[in-house]
Structure 1
Amino acid sequence: MSVNPKFRLLPKSDLQEASGGFDWQSTGEDPAFKLKPMAYQPKGWYMLEVQVESSATRLNSKLYVDYGEGINEANAILLPLTNGKPLKRVCYFSQRPLAIHFDPSEQPCSFSVKQLKMTRLTSAYARKLMIKKLTTRHTTDSHSGLAVTELLERYNHCFSPCKATLTYPQWQQRHEPAVFDKRKITNELEQLNRKPLISIVMATYNTEPLFLKACIDSVLEQSYCHWELCIADDCSTDEQVRTLLNEYSEKDTRIKVTFRSVNGHISKASNTALELATGDYVGLLDHDDCLAEHALFYIAKTINERPQVRLLYSDEDKIDEKGVRYEPHFKTDWNRDLFYSHNYITHFSVFDATLIKEVGGFRSGLEGSQDYDLILRCVAKIGNDQIAHIPHILYHWRAIKGSTALSSGEKNYTTEAGYKALQDFFKATYIPVEVRKGQLANTYRTIWPMPKPLPFVSLLIPTRDGYEILKQCIESIRTKTTYPNYEIVVLNNQTTCDKTLDYFERISSYNNIRVLNYDFPFNYSAINNFGVPQTKGSIIGLINNDIEVISPDWLDEMVRQVSRPDIGCVGAKLYYPDNRIQHAGVTLGIGGVAGHTHKYFSDVNPGYFSRLKLVQNFSAVTAAAMLVRKSVFEEVEGFEEKHLKVAFNDVDFCLKVRDKGYRNIWTPHACLYHHESLSRGAEDNPEKQARFQNEIEYMKQKWGDKLTTDPYYSPNLTLNHEDFSYNV
């Protein structure tokens, strides 16, 4: 075998440079690169290796080989990629290619090509690899006697696009007809007891007339008719804008227009538009974006269902210059700590009109993040139950050159404005929180105050034998952890290994390490319930014996978070030894009970809308590395010993904590390795399988619908995978 030089990717079509953690932005449905160099590609067999990080979960990529007949589907090599996951496949060049094109996606998205290379194979080794792949897929069939052409044809079928996942256009076709059923909506409109007037506020300035017209038309076409459109033009120099606005105001009396004599920028212009508003609620619409036809209906419907609501927001997607919709953002319900990390709410946001007046409207000096600032000041005035998320795409954010929708890096000042808005928010609350800029544009990190004196932390580590991993765990904590005020409590569960027992004796001589014996059959819940009452700390750390510290300040970060009175459980960012994600929060319902979000994503991947880089709330976090205050542990009476001896006890525990009114939180700033096998989870005998099934049934019976309605996930996303792909 010989390895060819790495390819250079020369952008050919529907591509431009991106930011926000990715290298490229596809701007259409046919992004393509030409590969260089080609001189090293003779005919024959190759191992193709491809890895792509993307804002899309699944990519149906292709390699097109031109043998002199141009680029065509007949010579396409299919590459069904999963975000961040390397793909290897055998391919055959029937003659020396004149050109090779790489099409990374069939949909607009942001991405980075992390690997694209070919390794020359002998025909015998290529045959061996193909037979191995087919045998894994079809264990009952024999492939060794097949002619090479038939073998290659069968092998190629293994790489057909996955039918269990949807592209966004497919998702729209499957799900939106039911959501936006006109007959159903007409009936529901007639039954609304309250039909509030909704004022749509918009500022314009030299807007492209084509997009401005589409924007205003999207309001005129609303199925809910109790609205007014309040437009303030910020002294546009383009006469077409004034003419168009006058035409629309004459066309419909619900459209109110005022023309500012001096350009004051977005905040002042938006406040001018607010002065025209007489509605019960105020919605924010950018001058080149569009509302979905039934956006205002869903706002009114939610207000009827939840009369106390004072702030509403919806899901959104992007729309390009040609009207193609892409990159939907299916959001969580109100996620306070995620909102402290970035403005995930964005569009479509609607406010109680009296609330906007109470906070004084938009503030000048925060242009670029004026919406974030406004929402922060509103959030400070209202309760969590007064914030409503509508899980439907009600807003289409125009992505054109120069817009933040296309790339957050287009407007660097927005990060600065958001930074100031968040600083001012915490200053107003008198909480000494330090705000820092995040790793990505328009993201932030909040450093919560460390309690004084430093709370004492008890780290509980259950173990049986396992000398090597236990030693690695304890030594990494002792040598790398910067937080000074802790003890390690090893819970010995019937260890028989002499080497491990000797190690227990040795570490017991340390001032801050104790070994407690739990001489009963393995029961994770019972072991920890046994250990907690014997700890000295006011904070309990649950640590698996196969954890290894990466970031020295991991415990500092987790102690800061868990010391907040409204926080329950705190989870860490856990990696497999190969630096892929093992744990980044737990989502309910995945696989029937719960699953780890972003599992197997690479360490450089920003995750679903940057969520791998941001502190946020989750319904649950894994107890492989979890902190909780001892008082909270005792309040919920610890772990469930009888029914959850091995699996799901941490999920159950977190849900009990959540039910007590605490928020569980995950932080990416506490990083550790979890030396769990990548194939772990298989129950390898009937007894274990029966126990596992009983634990599943217990969780379903106890928590019911809560397992399928996680407020920190979305009903539009799958419960079959952990990768944020669309719900089939």
Structure 2
Amino acid sequence: MRRALEGRAGYAAFQRHVEPEIASSTRLHRFAAVPESGFRATPAAALAVVIDPSGGGDGEATQASLRGQTVRCAHTAEYPILRALQESRAPWIALIRSGDRLAPIALERLGQAATLASDAAVITCDDDIIDRKGRRSRPMLRPGPCPDLWLERNPDFALVVVAREAALAAAGAGGEGWSLFSCLAGRDGSGHVHVPLVLCHRAGSRRGGSHPRSRQRPVRHPPDREPSVEVIVAFRDRPQLLERCVRSVLERSTYERLRLRLVDNGSTDPGLAPLLERLEKDSRVSVEADGRPFHFSALMNGAAARAKGDLLVFLNNDTEAISRGWIEELLGEALRPEVGAVAPMLLYPDGRVQHAGVAIGIHGWAGHPFAGLRPDERTPFGAAGDGTRNWMAVSAACMMVEKSKFDEVGGFDESFAVGGGDVDLCLRLTAAGYRSLCVPHARLIHDESASRDPSRVPAGDIKASRRSYGAFRTVGDPFYHPALTLQDTTCRLRSAGEPAPPP
């Protein structure tokens, strides 16, 4: 109860001090693109509004919210969606359930989005719960177009705008509900634009209301062939870490065409020699020396150039595999022609999340949303374990990528010596047409930076990050949300006075 009250008070403060600033202009999130923002004077397309009566909600509450809009709608109707699509002549139609309410600026911001994104087939927004006294709670903030997440988990948007002609064609082909949204958004998310504002308030139930639990459909992509996988682990001393890492890969990986390439980066610990001798008795393990000063990108590029595997796994020596099918889980995704880098969920030894994807802009550079939380811990942005998510980047603490794709983009940029090279690699893969994914049902333990000091980031890495991250760092990450804090990784709402992405 105390936590619920604190959450409600925090959300009330957010509504007073932060939301007006965010809602002052229209912001558009498209798949893997820098958000478009700052459109205060854009004319709003007139939207027809169709109220779905099937839920049996209070239609008058919905109608009252329509009368309070800052712009007029083309017309309203209260009947099933297919009939509305057939009878309306408006090019854009907003769909809402009876009993739910539109925020006063909803039609204006969504109409502006329709004007700006005339190529879109579906436009979505965020929502929360409203009770009979008008008190709002439990915001549900969503990433920009995230086709892999929506394939696994029905997003259940409360307010959706569709392009009538496209929706009519999809409905005629049998699409409705989630399948209609999926058809309009497209497998690559190109038909979907998200407006990251709470523009709809769901009617609370008699018990206080809650968001409907979206149905999760774990999706697997079993490979149609058995390519070879080569795991690259660089290390310096720390034999206990290395043994734990290698043993876990060899003993808890069921994939047969697997090899490990261990790169000794100048070790001096005498305890390593007998360990390496034992490990090399396994025909899957090879050891090589690269004694140059530590330079992550150069070490990985050198090992990758010598690797023979069809797929590469870059793996830190302070990791431990804990799920037996993790190679197959990542492999099925990495072999998809549209996918580049794939990573598992990484956990601290106590079970909290260390990595479930990378959002650019956190801490001013890049960070791991959900880090420090339990995998199932709910936030306004969902939970780390909700399903496979699209991200602009994933961590190279454990990253799988096809060698041909890695080579196509030139591997790691050696401007990065210690940190940031994985983000840069993923951005270049994205630019080449290969999306990045985190697969949360594949899990490893990661003692983050147990083998290196995370605070020792060279100035050159910072300079290279500024160049590489570009507008994703300053304007925003389409897979994150402007209402969330950039000061930590908890996915909490932004506080009053906290700097926001530029409007």
- TM-score scaled by length of structure 1: 0.62
2:4 corresponds in structure 1 to 105
3-state SS of the aligned residue for 2:242? helix
Tell me the matched-pair count.
Answer: 480
Kept in 1, the 8 Å contact 2:53–2:78? The answer is: yes
Cα distance change of structure 1 residues 479 and 190 upon mapping to structure 2, 3 Å threshold: closer
How far the C-alpha of 1:346 sits from its partner, in A, is: 0.9
How far is the alpha carbon of 1:306 from its aligned partner?
A: 2.3
Paired-residue identity, %: 26
Q: Does 1:443 align with 2:200?
A: no
Please report how far the alpha carbon of residue 509 of structure 1 lies from its aligned counterpart in structure 2 after TM superposition. 2.9
1:176 corresponds in structure 2 to: 19
For 2:166 and 2:321, the matched residues in 1 are separated by 46
Residue in structure 1 matched with residue 191 of structure 2 by the alignment: 386
Assess, with a 3 A threshold, how the Cα gap between structure 1 residues 545 and 176 changes in structure 2: closer, same or farther. Answer: closer
The answer for the alignment partner of 1:289 in structure 2 is 100
Aligned AA for 1:213?
E
Q: Is the 8 A contact 2:375 2:383 kept in 1?
A: no
Return the alpha-carbon distance in structure 2 between the equivalents of residues 318 and 522 of structure 1: 52
Instruction: Tell me the equivalent position of 1:512.
Output: 284
Could you say what secondary structure the match of 1:569 adopts?
strand
Deviation at 1:699, TM superposition (A): 0.8
In 2, distance between residues paired with 1:609 and 1:656?
28
Whether the 8 Å contact between 1:477 and 1:549 is mirrored in structure 2 is yes
Q: Structure 1 residues 401, 680: CA separation in 2 closer, same or farther (over 3 Å shift)?
A: farther
Aligned residue in 1 for 2:469: 703
- Aligned pairs for 1:307-346 (under 5 A) are 307-344=118-155, 346=157
Partner in structure 2 of residue 721 of structure 1: 488
Q: 314-323 vs 539-548, which deviates more? A: 314-323
Paired with 1:549 and 1:388, the residues of 2 have a C-alpha distance of: 37
Which residue of the partner structure matches residue 401 of structure 2?
A: 628
Contact 2:94 2:160 in 1 (8 A): yes
TM-aligned CA deviation for residue 293 of structure 1? 1.2
Could you say what secondary structure the match of 1:360 adopts?
Answer: helix
* Contact preservation (8 Å) 2:52, 2:95: no
Distance 1:511 1:678 in 2: 28
Q: Does structure 2 retain, via aligned residues, the 8 Å contact 1:313–1:345?
A: no
2-structure distance, mates of 1:682, 1:647? 9
Gap change, CA 1:677 and 1:653, over 3 Å in 2: closer
Secondary structure of 1:568's aligned partner: strand
Paired position in structure 1 for 2:458 = 692
- Distance change in 2, residues 1:289/1:362 (3 Å): farther
Write the letter of the residue equivalent to 2:477. Answer: D
For residue 375 of structure 1, report the CA deviation from its aligned partner: 0.6
- Structure 1 position 702, deviation (Å): 3.3
Q: Is the 8 A contact 2:126 2:196 kept in 1?
A: yes
Give me the whole-angstrom Cα distance separating, in 2, the residues matched to 1:108 and 1:171. 10
Q: How many Å separate the matches in 1 of 2:462 and 2:321?
A: 31
Deviations 1:14-65 (A, max 9, x none): xxxxxxxxxxxxxxxxx4xxxxxxxxxxxxxxxxxxxxxxxxxxxxxxxxxx
1:354 to 165, 169, 175: 165
Aligned partner of 1:299 among 70, 90, 110: 110
- Aligned residue number for residue 639 of structure 1: 412
Structure 2: distance between partners of 1:402 and 1:373:
30
1:200 match: secondary structure: strand
Q: For residue 410 of structure 2, what is the amino acid of its counterpart? A: E
The superposition leaves residues 654-703 of structure 1 with CA deviations (integer Å, 9 ceiling, x where unpaired) of 111112121100001111111236897553xxxx4xx5344223311332
Matched letter for residue 634 of structure 1: D
Opposite residue 337 of structure 2, the aligned amino acid is P
The letter of the residue matching 2:3 is P
CA contact (8 A) 1:606 1:613 kept: no
Letter matched to residue 406 of structure 1: S
* Residues 146 and 189 in structure 2, CA contact (< 8 A), matched pair in contact too: no
Instruction: Please name the residue that 1:201 is paired with.
Output: 50
Q: How far is 1:175 from its partner?
A: 2.7
Q: In 1, distance between residues paired with 2:194 and 2:375?
A: 30
Change (3 A) 1:606 1:564: farther
Question: Aligned partners of 1:631, 1:219: CA distance in 2, in Å?
Answer: 53
Report deviation, 1:710.
Answer: 0.7
| Residue segments in structure 1 that go unaligned for 5+ positions in a row | 1-30, 32-102, 110-165, 183-187, 233-268, 365-369, 410-440
Letter of the 1:722 counterpart: T
Deviations 1:377-426 (A, max 9, x none): 3234x8633321111111111121489x62536xxxxxxxxxxxxxxxxx
Tell me which amino acid in the other structure corresponds to 1:375. F
Looking at structure 2, the residues matched to 353 and 285 of structure 1 have their Cα atoms a distance apart, in angstroms, of 15
The residue that corresponds to 1:552 in the other structure is 324
Matches within 5 A, 1:446-457: 446-452=219-225, 454-457=226-229
Q: CA RMSD in A?
A: 2.5
User: Secondary structure, in 3 states, of the residue corresponding to 1:707?
Assistant: helix
- SS of the residue 1:720 aligns to: coil
Counterpart AA for 2:210: L
The aligned residue for residue 29 of structure 2 is: none
Answer yes or no: is the 8 Å Cα contact 1:580–1:603 preserved in 2.
Answer: yes
Pairing of 1:452-601 with structure 2 (within 5 A): 452=225, 454-601=226-373
Matches within 5 A, 1:49-60: none
Deviation at 1:504, TM superposition (A): 1.8
Q: Distance in 2 between matches of 1:462 and 1:678?
A: 13
Instruction: Tell me what 1:619 maps to.
Output: 392
1:189 Cα deviation from its structure 2 partner = 8.8
Q: Which amino acid aligns with 1:481?
A: S
Given that 1:361 and 1:374 are in contact with CA atoms closer than 8 Å, whether structure 2 keeps it comes out as no
**Contact preservation (8 Å) 2:42, 2:112:** no
> Residues 339 and 345 of structure 1 are in contact (CA less than 8 Å); yes or no, is this contact kept in structure 2?
no
RCO comparison, higher one (Cα < 8 Å, 6+): 2
Cα distance between partner residues in 2 of 1:179 and 1:469: 46
Aligned mates of 2:341, 2:54 — CA distance in 1: 47
Q: Between 485-494 and 500-509, report the one with greater CA deviation.
A: 500-509
- How far apart, CA to CA, are the structure 1 residues paired with 2:112 and 2:94? 15
| Structure-2 separation of matches of 1:637 and 1:545 | 24
- How much has 1:290 moved relative to structure 2? 0.5
Q: How far apart in 2 are the matches of 1:552 and 1:271?
A: 46
In 2 relative to 1, CA 484–606 (structure 1 residues): closer, same or farther, beyond 3 Å?
farther
**Cα distance in 1, alignment partners of residues 314 and 101 from structure 2:** 48
What is the letter of the counterpart of residue 397 of structure 1? R
**1:431-470 superposed Cα distances (whole Å, 9 cap, x missing partner):** xxxxxxxxxx511210112122x01000000011111111
- Native 8 Å contact 1:460 1:489 kept in 2: yes
The corresponding residue for 1:397 is 202
Distance 1:189 1:706, change over 3 A: closer
Check whether the contact 1:346–1:372 (CA below 8 A) recurs between aligned residues.
Answer: no
Residues 362 and 374 in structure 1, CA contact (< 8 A), matched pair in contact too: no
> How far is 1:373 from its partner?
2.1
Using the TM superposition, give the Cα deviation of residue 714 of structure 1 relative to its aligned residue in structure 2, in angstroms: 0.7
Q: 1:205 to 1:459 in 2, by over 3 A?
A: closer
**1-structure distance, mates of 2:99, 2:450:** 47
Q: How big is each residue's C-alpha offset from its partner over 1:486-531, in whole Å with a ceiling of 9 and x where there is no partner?
A: 1000011112222212222232232111111112111111110110
Q: TM-score, normalised by structure 2?
A: 0.89
Q: Which stretch of structure 1 is more off in the superposition, 490-499 or 716-725?
A: 490-499
CA contact (8 A) 2:370 2:384 kept: no
Q: Aligned pair 1:712/2:479, yes or no?
A: yes
* Residue of structure 2 in register with 1:408 after alignment: 212
